[in-house]
Amino acid sequence: MSAAGVEGWNFATRQVHAGVEPEGTHHPRATPVYLTAGFVFDDFDQASARFAGTDDGHAYTRVSNPTHAALERRIAALEGGSGATFLGSGQAAVSTALLALAATGDHIVAASSLYEGSRELLRENFARLGIDVTFVARTRDLEAWEAAITPRTKALFAETIPNPKNDLLDIAGVADIAHRAGVPLVVDNTLASPYLLRPIEHGADIVVHSASKFLSGHGTVLGGLVVDGGSFEWARDPARYPHLAVERGIDGRTLLERAGQGAYLEYVRTLAMRFGPAASPLNAFLILQGIETLSLRVQRQSDSALALARWLERQPEVESVDYSGLDSSPHRDLARRYLPRGQGSVFGFTVRGGRPAAEATVNSLELFTRMTHLGDVRSLVLHPGSTTHVLRTEDDRLASGIDPGLLRLSIGVEDPEDLIRDLAQALAVGRAAMVQAAGTR
Ligand SMILES: *Cc1c(COP(=O)(O)O)cnc(C)c1O
């Protein structure tokens, strides 16, 4: 079934059927894993045609592979995009998606609440390549986005659900500003997954995913995806994207003339082919299998997260909870607008007593796994101040709301009662540590 053929089906049906193409002589029901480096050319002419791109068969797995293609069609169908590219990791997806837009001398405007890996990539590595980045701290301030854009700006970049503070993005608002400036909005939709939120429906142009999280769902493999919404007008200001709209290939045509609306994704594929952040077909298979239960897992995880966030908010050991599903959240209005099915399952909460209380709480948890990952079927806990955000200065951490007592949870599919019981006993140990620390001061 092609991506186009599933348009009439609802999400839970598409997650099982989209992208599947019964191939070969045996007609397997599951998507086969084409674990092969290369593909046979029938004859001399076919080899030449594959290289010329006039025959759409596969040649070499770094460039394309049928298992990857099935995953690409499925995620495009779920996000409502025109196509997608599968890469080796979420970081590969972020870096490739942005490098396909910006080069030396160019500029990107990004939310400062990014995943730390992406933030460091932009702040340090893109800077070394001569790509400047302006970070917008107050992402709800649409004028701040607008004011940061320059004639050299090639992309706006943000996450739909940032963690650990859940300071949601006003996708439509920022997309409007991007489009008025003639620039695409690129969003990382990892934490929402297309089940909870489809950013292209709200005006985003390009969506990236770490498929290592909710899409795979079981914490077993890495993968990344770049999805093109297919409607950004690259030809409106050709000089802004010369590699797509001005420079001519050996056939005398621009990429836009050759690939039409597929030009951006075609360029992403070229970068992936040349820089080489290739994925494994086995990982594509495991991610396809994970996606088949996406709506079931994410609904359950999101419902449990809301129950836990509400419970945590009532505990005397807890100072605050950053979950956009709570009435106390300053982002509740955006959650109502963009996340009506559920507000996700990764959030932060701050224990009273700072680092000693946080440390004792983390060390006492028995069911939660201490691990730096998220979107797993198992519940996970992390202390951002001493792990993900350790490269920031203390002032910078505090300015971003990363208090020494802040803990990040990723809620799995376990029974929420058991998770609450585990948190209750760990918070009691944390409280004892706080009392003891106060006594010795
Ligand atoms: C994990 C993550 C990434 C990076 O993905 P990897 O697959 O680990 O490379 C990027 N963005 C977000 C929001 C993430 O959570």
Instruction: Name the closest-CA residue to atom 6, ligand 1.
Output: 90
Cα gap 131→104, rounded to integer Å:
5
How do beta strands 406-410 and 346-351 pair?
A: antiparallel
User: Quick check: 329 and 335 in contact, CB under 8 A?
Assistant: yes
What's the start-to-end Cα distance of the chain, in Å? 67
pLDDT at 21: 76
In angstroms, what is the span from residue 437 Cα to ligand 1's centroid?
36
Cα gap 213→226, rounded to integer Å:
15
In angstroms, what is the span from residue 308 Cα to ligand 1's centroid?
24
Which CATH homologous superfamily contains domain 294-439?
Aspartate Aminotransferase, domain 1 (3.90.1150.10)
**Token pair belonging to 237:** 């200001």
In angstroms, what is the span from residue 71 Cα to ligand 1's centroid?
18
Task: Give every CB contact of residue 382 below 8 A, 6+ residues apart in sequence.
Answer: 370, 371, 372, 388, 407, 408
CATH number of 18-291: 3.40.640.10
In angstroms, what is the span from residue 247 Cα to ligand 1's centroid?
33
Instruction: Name the closest-CA residue to atom 1, ligand 1.
Output: 210
Angle at alpha carbon of residue 229, lines to 223 and 233, rounded to 5°? 135
- Number of continuous H segments (helices) and E segments (strands) in the chain: 18, 12
Mutate to test the pocket of ligand 1, among 87, 89, 91, 161 (most ligand atoms within 8 A of CB): 91
**Ligand 1 proximity of 162 Cβ (cutoff 6 Å):** no
pLDDT at 174: 98
Per residue of the chain (441 residues), what is the pLDDT tens digit? 444 466 789 999 999 989 887 666 778 888 999 999 999 999 999 999 998 888 889 999 999 999 999 999 999 999 999 999 999 999 999 999 999 999 999 999 999 999 999 999 999 999 999 999 999 999 999 999 999 999 999 999 999 999 999 999 999 999 999 999 999 999 999 999 999 999 999 999 999 999 999 999 999 999 999 999 999 999 999 999 999 999 999 999 999 999 999 999 999 999 999 999 999 999 999 999 999 999 999 999 999 999 999 999 999 999 999 999 999 999 999 999 999 999 999 999 999 999 999 999 999 999 999 999 999 999 999 999 999 999 888 888 888 889 999 999 999 999 999 999 999 999 999 999 888 888 876
Cα gap 348→313, rounded to integer Å:
11
Give how far Cα 325 sits from Cα of 56, 65, 213, 347, 401, Å: 46, 40, 21, 10, 18
Neighbouring C-beta atoms of residue 251, cutoff 10 Å: 10
pLDDT at 5: 60
Q: Where are the strands (E) in 255-337, listed by range?
A: 318-322
Prior bond of 238 cis (ω within 30°) = no
Q: Where are the strands (E) in 183-251, listed by range?
A: 185-188, 206-210, 224-228
Cα gap 412→416, rounded to integer Å:
9
Nearest ligand 1 atom to alpha carbon 94: 10
In angstroms, what is the span from residue 379 Cα to ligand 1's centroid?
17
**Ligand 1 proximity of 119 Cβ (cutoff 6 Å):** no
**Token pair belonging to 263:** 């030009």
Residue/partner pairs of 433-441 with CB below 8 Å, 24 or more apart? 433/353, 433/356, 433/357, 433/359, 433/360, 433/361, 434/317, 434/351, 434/352, 434/353, 434/354, 434/356, 434/357, 434/360, 436/356, 437/353, 437/356, 437/357, 438/353
In angstroms, what is the span from residue 213 Cα to ligand 1's centroid?
8
Helical (H) or strand (E) element with 54: none
**Ligand 1 proximity of 212 Cβ (cutoff 6 Å):** yes
Give how far Cα 354 sits from Cα of 15, 157, 240, 410, Å: 43, 32, 48, 21
In angstroms, what is the span from residue 353 Cα to ligand 1's centroid?
30
Give how far Cα 258 sits from Cα of 21, 163, 234, 252, 268, Å: 26, 40, 13, 10, 15
Nearest ligand 1 atom to alpha carbon 223: 7
**Ligand 1 proximity of 61 Cβ (cutoff 6 Å):** no
In angstroms, what is the span from residue 229 Cα to ligand 1's centroid?
20
pLDDT at 347: 98
- List every span in the chain annotated with CATH 3.90.1150.10: 294-439
> How many residues belong to the chain?
441
User: Quick check: 87 and 63 in contact, CB under 8 A?
Assistant: no
Mutate to test the pocket of ligand 1, among 112, 119, 166, 213 (most ligand atoms within 8 A of CB): 213
Of 88, 19, 87, 76, which is closest to residue 227 (Cα–Cα)?
A: 76
> 281 pairs with which residues across the strands?
none
Cα gap 339→333, rounded to integer Å:
10
The strands making up 83-87's β-sheet, listed across from edge to edge, are 83-87, 224-228, 206-210, 185-188, 153-159, 107-111, 132-136
pLDDT at 1: 42
- List every span in the chain annotated with CATH 3.40.640.10: 18-291
Nearest ligand 1 atom to alpha carbon 224: 7
